Structure 1
Amino acid sequence: MKPGTKPKPTHLKLIEGNRGKRPLNRKEARIAPALPDPPPHLSADGLEEWNRVAGWLHRIGLLSEVDRAALAAYAQAYGRWVQAERAIAKMAQMDQLTGGLMIKTSNGNAIQNPLVGTANKAASDMMRYAAEFGMTPSARTRIETEAGAQDADPADRFFG
């Protein structure tokens, strides 16, 4: 596959308008929305995040059984990020100078705490997955769903 921007799903092109005037894929696979069960390997924090977002994603029509692994990866990255941040915060209580961001090696050199790298990588992964599901402000500007239309402000019909 060529590098570059990811192709936009046909249903989003129809909703937003086909600005590029490229042919639409009329044979694109359509998957029925569903609320999958969380996988058993999720951490406690990951499971909590799954439960927080899965129902919302299902209600707006952005979650199906086939999305289970992608949502699990998001939830697990969230859990890993939270766990690393908690560990850094605990270390910060004992290290007022660097707030747990630096550690000393066996040679006495100061280096970045490996937990900082873990937290950063998990946060990066989490945000990448979140964007796939429309869970960031910029990603939501590109998604419109039937559920979204029903949640519109009732005053819009009078002042809209």
Structure 2
Amino acid sequence: MAGNGNSGRKRKPTQLKLVDGQHYRLNERKNEPVAMGELSDAPGHFNDQQRAIWVYAIQHAPRGLLKASDGPVLETWCIALCLHRKATEMVNSTPVIIKTANGTPIQSPWLSVLNKQAIVMRSLVSELGFSPAARARISLADEEEADPLAHYFGE
């Protein structure tokens, strides 16, 4: 299972390997897939708040990073953020401890929603390049450059 990418450290992007001087390892990546197509319009089933989050994410994501195949991941992140915001509003406006019909005190169900959506969002920010740590691992080549090494070697 060592080569399936499901265990251990995440693979470093090829561009970052170039910057780190690991040119000797580039042959390992010669068949690395390149995603095509840009993301643009939000899914048709989104509500206004989800659509606004989508537009904001597209406008503020690292330029050239998100591609059409990333749409479902971004969709999940947008929905999670929307639900997280709603749960935050409810936690802020209702008691954290409530009583059931028989008088037993329990945690507000909104806290569970809040925490679950935070976990979903946290797992996706790395995939989407939405955190400082994720962006530190990303290096995007200029689209006009025919030779990706030219950027690093001034050729």
Give the distance between the partners of 2:123 and 2:132, measured in 1 at CA.
13
Q: CA deviation at 1:29?
A: 1.1
Q: Which residue of 1 aligns with 2:81?
A: 78
May I ask how many residue pairs the two structures share in their alignment?
138
Give the distance between the partners of 1:84 and 1:134, measured in 2 at CA.
24
Higher relative contact order (CA 8 A, sep 6+): 2
Q: CA deviation at 1:21?
A: 5.0
Give the distance between the partners of 1:32 and 1:67, measured in 2 at CA.
10
- 1:61 is aligned to 2:61: no
Give the distance between the partners of 1:6 and 1:79, measured in 2 at CA.
28
Give the distance between the partners of 1:124 and 1:19, measured in 2 at CA.
36
SS at match of 1:115: helix
Query: Identity percentage over the alignment?
Result: 30
Q: CA deviation at 1:114?
A: 1.0
TM value normalised by structure 1: 0.73
For 1:130-141, list aligned pairs within 5 A: 130-141=125-136
For 1:29-108, list aligned pairs within 5 A: 29-32=33-36, 34-57=38-61, 60-91=63-94, 100-108=95-103
- 1:13 is aligned to 2:17: yes
- After TM superposition, where is structure 1 displaced by more than 4 Å over at least 4 residues in a row? 19-23
Q: Which residue of 2 aligns with 1:144?
A: 139
Q: Is the 8 A contact 1:43 1:76 kept in 2?
A: no
Q: CA deviation at 1:127?
A: 1.9
Give the distance between the partners of 2:85 and 2:75, measured in 1 at CA.
15
